[in-house]
Amino acid sequence: MSRQAQRPSPSGALRRTAFAAALAVTAALAVPAAAAAGTPAPAAPPGGHRPQAKQPVATGYGGAVSTVDPDASRAALDVLKRGGNAMDAAVAAGATLGVTEPYVSAIGGGGYMTYYNAKNRKVYALDGREFGPASMKPDYFIDPKTGKPLSFDDAVTSGLSVGVPGTLAQWDLALHRFGTRKLGALLQPAIKVAEHGFVVDQEFYDQTATNEARFRDIVPTRELFLPGGKPPAVGSVFKNPDLANTYKQLAKHGTGWLYHGELGKEVVQTVTKPPVDPKAARVVRPGVMKASDLAAYTALSKQPTHVSYRGYDVYGEPPSSSGGSTVGEALNILSNFRLDPRDPVTALHYYLEASKLAYADRGAYVGDPAKVKVPLDELLSQGFARERACLIKPDQAAAAPVPPGSPDGTYEPCVPPGTQTRVLAAEGPQTTHLVVADKWGNVASYTVTIEQFGGSALTVPGRGFLLNNEMTDFSFTPSAPGGLPDPNLPGPHKRPRSSIAPTIVLKDGRPKLALGTPGGSTIITTVLQILVNRIDLGMDLPAALDAPRATQRNTPQVFAEQAFIDRYGKALAARGHRLEVFPGPPAGVIGAATGLEFLRPGLVQAVAEPVRRGGGSALVVHPAAR
């Protein structure tokens, strides 16, 4: 066993609070199983391994960063202090999150990024989404023995769920276009953390315990994440020398080591012959990935989505992500209404109704634009938004699910409600988001993911990282029989639809806000709600990010945090909204956002969650005097 978890005596603050709900290995809206039992009281870490304190808000000059993890934030800050730019710092932070947040962030996954380049004052979108093997067909997740779709549980822990990883290609593209440092140099902070270890907190323990049964069945995953046969104890120090060595080899050989070299062969071997314990009862189906699929992969530079909203220019991630199009459409719908901070209930009613309509259109029309026709310009047109907005009643919620609209370029004042809709597809709720700004005014908003907590549960032997399960973001079967064709069915070298929404907001051509969040299909509503809180309801960014959340994804229920229900539930129920506590995971918690705001030229405020998922870590290069 190559991992060590050193056990110490009672310690102080830990990196995150409890992750209270189980991994969702059913549909995205399924109620998760109960969380695993807690662990005994921690012992104090040995010298040099004290958990770093977190601060959710930092204001100052010279650059800023916000992530969920102090080690990752510190890695980015050190890059900024040494003269690196926002892109350099984002990559360094992403690599470090691969060590400290291995169940949501790894080089076995992918991600999306928006980037503001201060030199030409333009926003760019970089797509590092995984794609499927060349042999993938629409019936990929149909069991040939039964003719029925696999259960999500059976599909996720398998080689079938693994897409060609995009993270390393995205880093390579990002650094070549916008970076000033070599990848090898930016991997050094992560290598140190992997070698020296980090202090296990309650959330890391709980995420491990939630995955324990499936981790136990995969030999290299068990050896890595269940040292001594059980989840590492809270307060112990977790080391990953295999990942440190993998990063060292990447620094030496470059990203071609994955896409054209030995590491790629090892990934293919893991996918096609999953390293399952022969004694395990679990059926772990092999995938069909080939070395040629890795060689064919490219990260993409795209034009971001763009809408104007109340004097702000809002840029987001274009398809294959639905984040930018759905946030943008909802904002366009909301622009038809006056949202008064003195009447938050009415504002939230409009927010929920706009989300409902935009999600209906997302399900009907958004997929990988390289494989299906996505009417993006029409989805983001003011005419379509007006047609959709006229369906919203100020005092009555529409019965959900609502049907999609017709973004055909011919728009009537109103269209009658219909009955056809789509089932909300399963989409892993766990990713991680970071934001970085540098002293030159460059800004990165970056979401990285391997899909579910623990991804496919397949660890590449001897390499220290998990592989994604992003292929389960595809629709398993065509939905809404007789309706529109599903744009998100599996296909060769096709990218599954995502909800990831790294967002950058400009005011008068200059950066004003950057934000994003994990949360699967709730990402869109969390980003949208934070924007409404900040722009329409007059909250500052810390309050906008901390405010209780609700998510309406064209479902009969509005899922919400308990604090939202306590504050607004009765008044919204009077308008026909049916509120229920968000089932998770984590139960009752929606998202874990990070953001930043330029308060005035040069002065930046970085913001992380103060409480959700244990809070995040906001840092600045030169703190402002209080």
Number of residues in the chain: 626
Structure tokens that stand for 157 in this block: 């822990």
Of 127, 72, 64, 125, nearest to 94 (Cα)? 72
Structure tokens that stand for 255 in this block: 């990203």
Unique residue bearing structure tokens 């409890």: 18
Distance of CA 388 to the CA centre of its chain: 28
**How many angstroms separate the CA atoms of 344 and 396, rounded?**
16
Task: Specify whether 431 is catalytic.
Answer: yes
* Distances, alpha carbon 594 to alpha carbons 65, 513, 591, in Å: 9, 11, 10
Q: What angle do CA 221, 227, 228 make, to 5 degrees?
A: 130
The DSSP symbol for 229 reads: G
Crossing angle of helices 86-100 and 167-178, rounded to 10°: 160
Of 148, 163, 135, 106, nearest to 472 (Cα)? 163
**How many angstroms separate the CA atoms of 65 and 594, rounded?**
9
b/e code 300-336 from CB counts within 10 Å (16+ = b): bebebbebebeebbbbbbbbbbbbbbbbbbbbbbbbe
User: In 491-552, at which residue ranges do the beta strands (DSSP E only) sit?
Assistant: 503-507, 510-516, 550-551
Looking at residue 71, its amino acid is D
With contact defined as beta carbons under 8 Å apart, do 6 and 236 qualify? yes
Structure tokens that stand for 536 in this block: 């329409």
Structure tokens that stand for 601 in this block: 């030229």
Crossing angle of helices 188-196 and 241-253, rounded to 10°: 160
Say which of 67, 114, 270, 431 is annotated catalytic. Answer: 431
Could you count the other beta carbons within 10 Å of the beta carbon of residue 369? 15
In sign, the C-alpha dihedral spanning 351, 354, 357, 358 is negative
- Tell me which residues are annotated as active site: 431
